[in-house]
Structure 1
């Protein structure tokens, strides 16, 4: 009985001790967590961009050609940007077709290749005609008829020649035949002579067409352009009218763009400024051709088609473009920054502003519009001196100075 009482009294004591030990361990872990320093951010992590400061001596600025000057201001109209791609103008495409059924043969020059420019009137090769049984039968019938016509013409020519000779003799013998009758005999002779010559030419042409080695028919490019598709090559058999080579001209292209969602209600302007990726310094004038008839699922906005003339830029279908459409609204004002003044960092556009002889601050700006002299940007106070030459050098110096700080953070 006494042992049971002792065990019953010890059970609560062991239970209390166990919870005291667990509580002490939890308190120790909590204290260690509170006193531990927070982890340092990784270099290059996605953090909100902050402006940097660089200090460079005037001597170094002169050697690196770092120059700062105030930027001019310009007022621009609001625009809506529509993105799309260039496409070939169907009106500037031409297909060279086989003039007759037969086999293709290249002549002196090699057969055209993709991308080759062909001038108007260029001879590409020839087609050696090949006659089907039905065509051969038709030509044979025409040849027989032509030969009969030739025999009739030759007989009439011989008779008119004899009549003309008799008329000349009678006219010379004391005018036994008048001059008018002599002239009529000469006219009949010349008529029969021409008919016989035409019949003879027809017979020769038909005989040449029926001969095994018929004369080849040349392949001529009636229009000039660049070879974009080759559908047949020398040695192949083709039918009459079969496409052989397709040519196209790219000095004028079509810009297929789509308005952003929610902007489909605006009236598209007749003219737009079209910028091709990679040629941002050469904005093009686009003429509205039509509203698109089919909506691209990847760009569900209202489709528009602008015709763009771009001689000398070597543009090709498929190049991405951006069309800037002017819309009614309040005009925007900003500074004109040359391309050398704008740098890209962390997905934003920046400029360096001089805040002293040695000090330069990196400031974030918003690109409003591309113009001929650069970009119209906002975020630059008037009369601020902006670095127009050597901005990349300043960015390199800023990043180089940030490396030791990042290494110290990693060591901690």
Structure 2
């Protein structure tokens, strides 16, 4: 009887650890080979953790996953729920997807894309327009014929060829060539001239 109680306690601990690490879907039926845990352990499915912007509901969306290094559209993926583990340094809500086994090693970077019936309004910001300063991404936007303003850029919506921004408009004129030079010019007054005494 004590052995049975010990086994039940151990099982509850395992289920709780699964719930805390991977969520309710993985904690359900932990010993069943047909459950998510059994399928993942048998490499019958891949599991992908990804982040959506705050306020975006990922449930009414068809998801696709592709390796980052390829230009393919990827394979269809199934949303299984929220991930209790957040991705460090990435703002937003973390969710989990399952997809057929891809043969990619665990921890490989993938591109997650959404096919939604709701159109997103915004622009693609090319990588050459993005500068980094103070741990953040910025772009220079023309505000007058000879005047540019540095504006913050969210990096939580990467595309295969840049970043998606819903804060900029198609009419926004970005500096694409020479953005890093503008950043240097903006802060050159802070550089001390060692030759002047």
Normalising to structure 2: TM-score of the pair? 0.50
Relative to total residues, which structure has the larger helix share, 1 or 2? 1
Larger radius of gyration: 1
Normalising to structure 1: TM-score of the pair? 0.27
